[in-house]
Structure 1
Amino acid sequence: MPPPPGSSWPAAPEGPEGQACGGYAQEQTWAWPLGGARQTPPGGHPALTPDPSVWAWPPPRPVRSKQFACAELPGGESYHRLARTPLFRWWVPPLAVLVFAVLLFFLWVGVMLVMTIVAILGGSGLAPDSVRVGEIAGLAFGLAAIALLIPVTLFVVRVVQWRRAGSLISVEGRVRWRWLARCVFTAAVPVTAGTGLLLLVSGRPPADGPGAVNYGSVEVLAAALLVIALLVPLQSAAEEMTVRGLTMQLVGSLGSPSGDSAFSRVLRSPWPAVLAGGTLFAALYASTHPGNLWTTVSLAVFGLAMAWLTWRTGGLEAAIGLHVVNSLVQFTLCAVQGRLSEVGTGVVIGGGLPLGTNTPMTLALTTAQVGLYLLLVTGLARRGGVSRRSPLTRH
């Protein structure tokens, strides 16, 4: 590799030190960062005017400048390959899974401990004077517990995988807020159409609306809607960051970039990562609700579509957009119809599915809704020039 433009040194060093410069340790003995470069080339002829802006030859390998410095984004890679940084080692994926499992266990223990303390202090429920308030408090507690997966996943990415936390979100290493807003507004079209069609087909009468639900006061219903508006976006983002983001990037990091075997090429392709990120939540749901076949298949359809869209758009924003809008509509209907107690029981899932039961109608509406969203978002991404790969590394 030739020296940088403006260097006063020859294209290749001479002498015994230059002949042995292929080793990493030997390069580090005389190739130093800007401002501290050795001004005597290997040939033994010192530079007449030392210039701290001139690099030694050859260019040094990346050196960690800070104790907690992280690896930069790999240049020109798709979303599922962002965890394959220069600091990647074979033991990083299993260590990340282990640390995540341990943190998840302590999170579960903490949640159960807090619930037990609250139950002891408050009697048999979170709010003994009102069943509806107790349901709202339970919903808030459950959504907040899921939202805590956000710091857990970011900790695994930043500390265990030793890379930028923003690389879990997109190929640009940050949340693309304008693109996220466009996805949220776009998701309102298929979600509104699908929910309206489902309510029409199911024949749910208007009497099941707010007037038929005894919340005790309008303030209680307003509190339920406030909890949903504040916590459901965090819950949806946490699920996407864990099920789609962390899973896809863990699987995508396994393929060696220099491997020429068919196995390495398959691991580098997006399909193993899409398959893992798209079916994980459906598999977990099936293990706890083995009889809900239609709901399980619907979750798989939704998950595979969101995993593919994450790879296609280079980030989680599109998946988060549909998940947030779907869950907001679903939970709001539960609150209005007085069915908050069904949330988290398997009848109502915060996974972004249309409101319904375990019937073929749920699968049909999920497929239609997701298909329309894919068409709209991919068109917007193509016209808007949304990045699908990380920026090329600049030297």
Structure 2
Amino acid sequence: MPRPIDSDRLAFHRLVFARRRSGWWTPLAVGAVGIVLFLLMVLGAALVALLIALSSEEAARALNRVLNDGGVLDISDPLSLLIGLGAIALLLPAYLLASLIVNGRRVGFASAVFGRLRWRWLLVCAGLAVAMAIVVAIATALLPAEQSGESLTPPVGATLWLSLLVVILVVPVQAAAEEYIFRGYLMQSIGRWLRHPLFAILLPVPLFVIGHLYDPVGQAAVALFATAAGWLTWRTGGLEAAIAVHIVNNLLAFVTGIVAGTDPSAADVGWVSFATSVLLLGGYCLAVEYVLRRRPIARTYGLPRTQLPPPIPMPTPTATVPLPGEPTPELTKP
């Protein structure tokens, strides 16, 4: 194992050094293996969908309808939601398995400095995110109404309940998968090469923005979210705080979209939506910081002494040979 840094305490973005293999090449290998595994998982899911379509004419029509949409997410179609959100959710097992293969055991360090996901802390953060979402909803009701995106016909009957079921079951995994990739894999990859946390927090932001096709206002909101999530991950020593707010944000957007007939993936985002995002993220970060100060949690991981660099040996005195005519020095016992 290569020598870690000059301290025996590792922040989240430096946790690669706590794994069995942490060479400079490991982030690149994890990315390559993860892409291969993701493509294999998508291929397997496509084969399953094809077999189901061949066994039922109604399933074949539904699958053909989704494919004809060109990959556009349709909130009124449960199958479209399942395929669109499920494909993103597959990133999570692909990344964790690739990390296990390349970096070795202790894959829990991909989640937090504790060596696993801290479920109690995740629930605390989820409660804070829900509370802030309620505050934002009340504040939004006092702001001018905003029409953004295309109005859709809300699903009714069984379609409505199936859509809500898909969102409730899949969105948490989809949101967690994005956090594991952008705040987990990318932050720890950059942290393997660059020590300062600002690099790990800010460099993944453009990639996260590119993955969301919004107008400039919407992309500014996405950049703000990515920056806040990166800071929360570094500040708390794990992905829990970022996962919690991401899940709550996405659930709120999709459930509201299904019930009200608005498209959560619409490209045009108004200034009211941007203001509510600022309020949600700002209030949530302050709430997390307040809880951290009241009840501190582990934010760094202490490397075992066997993984620290060996101490620098001190020079030992050597015997000197006297010159001709000089007295022989006497050795003193310690």
Match of residue 382 from structure 1: 293
On the 8 A contact 1:187/1:321 being kept in 2, the answer is yes
Equivalent runs, 1:97-246 vs 2, <5 Å: 97-111=31-45, 121=57, 122-126=59-63, 135-203=77-145, 215-217=155-157, 219-246=158-185
After superposition, give the CA deviation of every residue in 1:186-224 in whole Å (9 maximum; x if it has no partner). Answer: 00122222234335535379xxxxxx966442x432222
Secondary structure at the residue paired with 1:84? Answer: helix
Alignment equivalent of 2:231, drawn from 280, 299, 308: 308
| In structure 1, distance between residues paired with 2:100 and 2:21 | 12
Q: CA shift at 1:328, angstroms?
A: 1.1
After superposition, give the CA deviation of every residue in 1:300-344 in whole Å (9 maximum; x if it has no partner). Answer: 0000111011000000000011111111111111111234xx45x
TM-score (norm 1): 0.65
On the 8 A contact 1:244/1:278 being kept in 2, the answer is no
Match of residue 23 from structure 2: 89
Q: CA shift at 1:136, angstroms?
A: 1.2
After superposition, give the CA deviation of every residue in 1:118-144 in whole Å (9 maximum; x if it has no partner). Answer: 66653442498xxx9970121122222
| In structure 2, distance between residues paired with 1:133 and 1:145 | 15
Equivalent runs, 1:268-307 vs 2, <5 Å: 268-285=195-212, 289=213, 292-307=215-230
Secondary structure at the residue paired with 1:82? Answer: helix
On the 8 A contact 2:155/2:258 being kept in 1, the answer is no
Which has the larger displacement, 134-143 or 182-191? 134-143
Match of residue 336 from structure 1: 259
TM-score (norm 2): 0.76
Supply the AA of the counterpart residue of 2:207. L
Which has the larger displacement, 224-233 or 323-332? 224-233
How large is the Cα RMSD of the aligned pairs? 3.0
Match of residue 315 from structure 2: none
Give percent identity, aligned residues only. 34
Q: CA shift at 1:273, angstroms?
A: 0.6
Supply the AA of the counterpart residue of 2:266. V
Which has the larger displacement, 302-311 or 276-285? 276-285
Aligned pairs, number: 286
On the 8 A contact 1:313/1:386 being kept in 2, the answer is yes
On the 8 A contact 1:213/1:336 being kept in 2, the answer is no
Q: Residue 214 and residue 320 in structure 1: after superposition, are their counterparts in 2 closer, same or farther (change >3 A)?
A: closer
Name the structure with the higher helix share.
2
Q: Residue 77 and residue 185 in structure 1: after superposition, are their counterparts in 2 closer, same or farther (change >3 A)?
A: same
| In structure 2, distance between residues paired with 1:172 and 1:127 | 46
Which one has more relative contact order, counting CA pairs under 8 Å at least 6 apart? 2
